[in-house]
Amino acid sequence: AIHEKTEYPGKNKYFYAPSDTKGVEKFLKELRERQNDLTEVLRTGGVQDWEGYQRILGELSGLSSAERIIIDLQNIREQTDVI
């Protein structure tokens, strides 16, 4: 259903999907904060070993892909709302 509550991964929060743009924006904000936190760990040399470095790069890659998909879906929705 359009107004069904969707669990927010890793948090005790919810957002309404897909029509709740505030929820989507909040999700994107937290996703970007996580990207920034991980980038800061890399920038400051906070990685303990090669495996940790690879894990952070993998997580950054996944977050970046998720962000792009969400933005693309928002753009598609905006285009179909205009029509």
**pLDDT, position 11:** 53
Q: DSSP letter string over 19-83?
A: T-HHHHHHHHHHHHHHHHHHHHHHHTT---SHHHHHHHHHHHHHHHHHHHHHHHHHHHHHHHHH-
Whether residue 58 has pLDDT greater than 80: yes
- pLDDT, tens digit (0-9, with 9 covering 90-100), for 6-54: 455 555 555 445 556 788 899 999 999 999 999 999 999 999 999 999 9
Residue 43 amino acid letter: R
Tell me the pLDDT tens digit for each residue of 45-56. Answer: 999 999 999 999
The pLDDT value recorded for residue 62 is 98
pTM over 0.75: no
Cα–Cα distance for residue pair 23/26, rounded to 1 Å: 5
d(CA 52, CA 56): 6
pLDDT for 23 equals 86
Chain centroid to CA 31: how far? 3
Query: Is residue 62 within 8 Å of residue 38, measured between CB atoms?
Result: no
pLDDT at 3 over 60: no
- Judge contact between 42 and 56, C-beta under 8 A: yes
